[in-house]
Structures are given as C-alpha cells and as structure tokens.
A and B are shown apart, each in its own frame.
Chain A
Amino acid sequence: MAKKQICLYFQVHQPTRLRLYRFFDIGKDSHYYDDFENRTILRRIAQKCYLPMNQLLLDVIREQKGAFKVAFSISGSALEQFERYAPEILDSFRALADTGCVEFLGETYYHSLSSLASPAEFRLQVEKHRQAIKEYFGQTPVTFRNTELIYSDAIGDMVSEMGFKTVLTEGAKHILGWQSPNYVYCNPEKPSLKVLMRNSALSDDIAFRFSDRSWDNWPLTADKYLAWLKAAVSDGGNMIGLFMDYETFGEHQKAESGIFDFMRALPGVVAEDGEFEFSTPSSIARRFKAVSEISVPEAISWADEERDTSAWLGNELQKDAFNKLYGLYEKLAILNQPSMWNDFGHLQESDHFYYMCTKFFSDGAVHKYFNPYDTPYEAFINYMNVLSDFMIRVDEALSEKL
C-alpha cells in the first residue's frame, strides 16, 4: 500500500511597513517606508527563525537522505528585504533549494489582494514572482499559493490558465462540509488543477497551540503528534496538509517552547513508524487522482474564524482604501514607470489592510500581535495619507506624459 503523505508548507512573508506619514507630508515627501523598523524586525526574525530553522531543515534533509521534503512560498516583499538587510538568509534558502527536496511555490510578488481586485494586476504580480523565484532558486513554480491561502473557483481558473498544476488553500469547514481535507480535490472549471487543503486542526496544533500551557494537550511531543496524524487518516485520506507561517518556528513559538526540538524529532519518528512520508505539493498532485471537484464560489482564506476575506476587506475603511488603491491600476498601466509600479506594489501588501481590521474579538489577539498601529483607525489614516501622496504623484506624472 502506498504511503500516506505529509505535506509541510511554510509561508515566508514580511510586510514593507509604512512610516508615520502625516497629512503635512502629503505632496512633500514620497518615501513611505519605515526602513529602520523593517530592518530591525527582519534582522530579529532572521536570528530567531529563518537562519536556525533553515539550518535545522537542511540537517534533517541530510540525515533523512532525501526522504524529508518541504515547500516554501516566499513573497517578493520578503525577498527584497532579505536582499537588503540580511542576504545570508537568501544563501541559506539556496542551500535548501540545492538539496532538491524543497519546492518553491508561486504567489503574488507583493503578497497582495490583487486576485480579488484586478485580474490584470494579479497576472503581472504572479509573473513577477515567478521570475524572482527562478532567479534566486533556479525553480519555476508549478504550484500556486495565493496570499494567505485566499482561493475561489475563479482564482483557480486564472492560475490554471497561467500554467499552474496545483493550488493550496484552506480546508474551510463551510466549503468541505462532510468531506475530509485529507484528499486531493480539483477545480470544477479546470479539473486539471489539483486543490490541496490545509488540515487546520493539525496545522494549528503546531502554529498556534504548541506553547500554550493551558492547552490540555501541552506539551506536544513528536510521538503524540504522530498518533494524531495516524488518527486523522484512520478512516481514509491520503495526505495531510500542514500549512503554516514559517515565523511559527522561533518567532511565534519561541525557541524555549521546544518547537525546534519538536521539528527535529518529528521526521525521524515519522520515518520509523512508516505509515507516512513527507512530500511536496507538486509530487502529491502528480501521484494522486482527485477524489472529487471542490466548489468554492466565494473566496476563502486561512484567516480568522470566518476563513474568508473579512480580515482584509471586512469593514468600510478597508473597502474604501482597497477601492481607492485599485482604482489607480489603469493610470499605472498607462504610465508604466518602474518606480510607480514599485510603490503601487508595496502599497498593495495585504498587511496594510489587515492592520485596519476592526474584528477585535475572537481573533483580536492574533491581529494585535501583527499590528504596528495602536488602532485600526490610525492604520487607516496613515495608509490614506500615503496613498493620497501616491495619487498626486500618479496624476502629476500622467499629466506630464499626456
């Protein structure tokens, strides 16, 4: 009997945080980013997470002699920051790429919400990202992972046309219903596009609950976790999608919690047991036929209880900022200036919209953790001030050109 598959996938992204940009700066100063803050945070996370965890994975791949595989998606915004502030991170990812055991996935270059706004801008960004991954890691992505696992039938349709064979998304309960996330599905419009689902319970056991001492399963050991994996597929299923932020390791779950020891132990425990093997999304998609179509008419994501796009576009502040931003696309296309595209891209990062979220109840803790602003209103004001300056620049450049 074929082994069952564990699909480990990590999202690597760093937002380009905006500086405090006041009304008085509009029209005067067009540098929008808090370089100091971005550098400080990136260097901290490099020391706590990226460098030690990359080394750990490299060690495990060598020990397991190729039997251990993982997948990454690294946003263009993160790549830019690595290049600028900590190039050694790029080297360590390259070392992982060279093992042949790591798959790099495609996404939008700016970790943006463009899939929900503008198909044209979306395609541009996916293409830009594909180029970047090819340059850095020598791979052309064939698996797609949209920002924060945002996915719908229409998005699947677009990425299939762009040549992707597989897409990752959230195993959202309201989509799956009675069905299990532990099978391979396909897009109803484009049956050749395989859809892999995140097993949210087992992913969050690591990503959110691992160090929670009030959790009745604390502490989590590799043996215990393996037992859960086995239980999850005891009634059927051929894969388990463990998708999470890469910053889980060493940043969200601190080193003291034992997260690195856990991840070092898990591959060996899994190999010894023999029921599972580690695999990448593209090889799982190749090996398994889809059990059925999965229909996702409205966009889903991995965020919050709702598993929809309300973390970014749930309130009127977010919607207005979003509409104003993407209202500029036509003008940008006419202008077609690299520096304008660059700012337009960074202003599209989904994080800016996430900071404006007003859902402060069940998921408030998570939102607060990731938020440089005290209130969503401040985030909105700051963003709109920056955007206003950008709009002035676009209009001025346009009137010059015409």
Chain B
Amino acid sequence: MFGWEFPPHIAGGLGTACYGIVKGLAHNGVETIFVMPSASGDEDQSAARIINASDVAVTYTEELGIGDFLDKVKFIHVGSNLVPYCDPEDFTNLVEEERRRQQKDFRIHYGQKFKFSGKYGANLMEEVARYAMVGGTIALQHKDEFDVIHAHDWLTYYAGIAAKRMTGKPLVVHVHATSFDRGSVDNIDTRVYAIERNGMEAADKVITVSDLTRNIVITKYGINPDKVVTVHNAVDFSGRDDLQVERGVKDKVVTFLGRITFQKGPEYFIEAAAKVLKRTKGVRFVMAGSGDMMNRSIKHVARLGISDRFHFTGFLRGADVQKMFALSDVYVMPSVSEPFGISPLEAMRTGVPSVISKQSGAAEILRYAFKVDFWNVDAMADQIYGLLQYPALAKFAATEGYDEVNTLKWDNATAKMKAVYESVVNK
C-alpha cells in the first residue's frame, strides 16, 4: 500500500483514513506493507509494516538494465517536456538527448537514497516522481510478499503504476479527492489531473470514497464504470476520551470547522449566520480553521455587521479541535464539493447535531444529519434555527446521530475493500 502520510505526523485527513484502513484490513485478515515517503519511526506499526521510502535506494537488477528500468518508469519524469516548434528530425534528436540525459542522471543517482519531505511543498511534483522510482524498487524487493498494490490519491499513483509495471501485480487506486474538489471546475491543475487519470486508467479497480466521487471519476476522467467501486469512509473513535469542557459563553454555539477555502463554502455559512442572527440573539457562530478565503470571510462578516456574534479561531490542532466540537451546539459543513467529509462524523460522535451540504459524500450515508444544498442559505438558516430553538429536535438528532456514526466502522468498509482485492487477484 502506497500512502503519503500516516499518524501521528499528518497534515490532512488522508493519513487518518489510511490508518483506519490498515487497522480495518488487519481485522479482516489482510496484511499490509505500508510505504510512505518519509516515516519518522513513531508510527503505529501494530497493524502494518511501514517502509520508509527515504531509507531505500533506487537500484536495478542485472536482468533489468537501466534502459529497461527507465522504459518502465520513465513516464514519471516530470521535468518540462514541452518542446518549442521543431521539425521531426530535431525532435528525434531532442528525445534521444533527453533519454541519454535521463540515463546519465539515473547513473548518478543510482544507489542513492532520496530524502523525501513527505510534505506538500514546492517540490511536490519532483517528490511524486522520485517516490515512483523508489516505489518501483521497493515493489521489486518485496515482490513475493504481496498480492495487490493499493495506492492512495494522486501523490502515490505513479508509485503504484511503477510497482505494477515492475511486478505485474494488480493495482487498486483509491480516490479520496479529485482535482475537481481542489479547484473550481474550469480551473484545475492539469498536471495533477493527468496523473490522476493515468493512475485510474492503469488501475485494475478504482475505489472512490462516495458515489459523488465515483460520478466524477466516471464522467470527468472517462473511467469505465464497471471498474469503479464506492467504499464509503468510516471513522475510528477508539482511544478517544469524551472531553469535558467548561463553557465560557452562555449562548448556543454554531460551528464551521475546516479549511476556509472555496470548496468548503464558508460564505454560505456566513450568510446563513446573518439570517439566523436576525431572528435570535442567543447564538454565536464560530469559524474554526484557516485558508485562502479567511480574510475575505472576516471582511464579509464585518460588512454584515455581525462580528460581535461571529468569531474566528484561526487554525486549530489536536485537542483544540475536540474542544471546539465539545463547545458546539450545531455543526455545519456547507461544502460546495466534498468527496466525503469526515468532520460531521466527528461532530455527531461528540453529540453535536450536524447540518451538511447535499454536495458531500457523507450525505450519502448519514441519515441523521440535516442535509441542504450548499447554496440554499435560507434552508441552512432554517435548520440551524430549528436545532437551536427546538430542544426536542436537537436531542433527537444528537442521540440518533451518535448511534449512527458509531456503526460506521472501518472493519465494515475494509471488508468491501477486501472483496475488491479478491476480484482483481483472482481475475
């Protein structure tokens, strides 16, 4: 299994999901070798063997020469291959030259380890390419120890493809998010899109975290529907203590928690807040998180004149996130586009009723969350108001929601993944 991060060192939800998946697979009798670009050594190895790609040097064996190795993995070279106008002869020369350059480059780097940052920095594309080289090598080294390759999100797809080409084992790619969830429809990163599409095309099966995402994979990436299977995310609450937090404010608290970016729909939350505040005063709204829309959101709030009732906390980490949920009376996830969206599950687990957008994967499985179209600010305000004003409704949503999320277990989700593995291995 190729991942990018693994708890405790995580920047996003991907690492947490991978952790839940390997644990769930272990319970289902599936052993996992988890490869990640930069492991720190303090990862929980009880459920999976962790291989740190930074410890592995790129090598090739005698039977597989440099040229052969490069033929198998050359697609991963990300250096700009754009060539200005030139005639066919020049082009051939250029390609030959590039090939020689690559071989030379490869000899120089041969046997060297590459120190991955494992972050999401400026050299991301280079890291993705190197990760593929190392991934191919690791797959060869452990050829006899696995039956199927599982790659999580585009960062690892090239590593997955390399491993498949080197070993001939089947590849499953797992789509946690697509380019269309990161940018707007007409402004996506085409390099990432290309990698995603390559990965999905090369895969024997594609797992998506929701039907919403499955639809995107089929319609926007042109992948054969028969190949695409939805396995909804689950959430692992083990080892979680219920936090007792003393409340400072007597008012009810309505919370948005997440990156403050276009996809998360912060402005709909603000508009809904203004509408609710027109009708009732005993409520405060909190926008927890940071992101490129934060300053705009602050201005938006000030312009509506509600900044004494609408608070920003900035980026929250660790215990503060739990604290924020514990302080909340209603949780809102107004995402414009959300492949899954784990946060309402966390809220419901804390006993906080949630209002979520219909444009989220979580909406497909949560029966006791309130669902609205992200753009329907009136409906959103209505539901928030109802949950605040009618204790019976809030209590119902809290109790039922709590029970519901406790049934969403990785053991069940990974059982479905196991079936996917079996379908490709026994083909």
Q: Which residues of A come within 8 Å of B, CB atoms?
A: 22-28, 315-317, 319-321, 323-324, 375, 377-378, 380-381, 384-385, 387-388, 391-392
Contacts and interface: CB of A to CB of B under 8 A. Distances in A.
B278 interface: no
B249 A27 contact: yes
Interface stretch (B14-22, B122-130, B311-319, B390-398): B311-319
Nearest to A385: B311
Contacts of A26: 248-249, 311
Given A23-B286, A23-B313, A317 B308 contact: no
A26 B310 CA distance: 12
A381 B260 CA distance: 15
B307 A380 contact: yes
A377 B295 CA distance: 6
Nearest to B250: A27
B313 A391 contact: no
Contacts of B246: 28
B229 interface: no
Given A25-B248, A316-B299, A377-B298, A324 B307 contact: yes
B321 to A, nearest CB: 12
A59 to B, nearest CB: 50
Contacts, number: 64
Binding site secondary structure of chain B: mixed
Contacts of A324: 307-308
Nearest to A327: B308
A24 B323 contact: yes
A380 B249 contact: no
A319 B286 CA distance: 21
Q: Give the top 3 A-B pairs by smallest Cβ distance, nearest first.
A: A27-B248, A28-B248, A320-B302
A377 B294 contact: yes
7 contacts: A23-B312, A26-B248, A27-B250, A316-B303, A324-B307, A324-B308, A388-B309
B247 interface: yes
B313 A320 contact: no
Nearest to A383: B307
Binding site secondary structure of chain A: helix
Contacts of B248: 24-28
A377 B294 CA distance: 9
A262 to B, nearest CB: 42
Most buried by B among A22, A23, A321, A380: A23
Interface string B275-293: 0000000001010000000
A317 B247 contact: no
B13 interface: no
A375 B308 CA distance: 19
Interface residues of B, number: 25
A385 B307 CA distance: 9
B268 to A, nearest CB: 19
Interface of B: 246-250, 284, 286, 294-295, 298-299, 301-303, 305, 307-309, 311-314, 320, 323, 327
Nearest to B288: A23
Contact of A384 (B250, B294, B308): B308
Contacts of B299: 315-317
Contacts of A317: 298-299, 302, 307
A384 B311 CA distance: 8
Contacts of B298: 317, 377, 380-381
Contact of B312 (A27, A320, A381): A381
Nearest to B308: A324
A324 B311 CA distance: 14
A321 B306 CA distance: 10
Contacts of A391: 308
Contacts of A319: 302
A380 B247 contact: no
A26 B284 CA distance: 11
Given A317-B299, A377-B294, A388-B311, A323 B249 contact: no
A316 B302 contact: yes
A388 B285 CA distance: 12
Contacts of A320: 301-303, 305, 307
Contacts of B313: 22-24
A107 B303 CA distance: 31
A328 to B, nearest CB: 10
A23 B286 CA distance: 8
Given A23-B286, A380-B298, A321 B307 contact: yes
Contacts of B323: 24
Most buried by A among B295, B308, B323: B308
Contacts of A22: 313
B295 A381 contact: no
Nearest to A392: B249
B294 to A, nearest CB: 7
Given A27-B247, A324-B308, A377-B298, 7 more contacts: A23-B311, A24-B320, A25-B248, A320-B302, A323-B305, A380-B307, A392-B250
A377 B320 CA distance: 21
Contacts of A380: 298, 302, 307
A51 B299 CA distance: 42
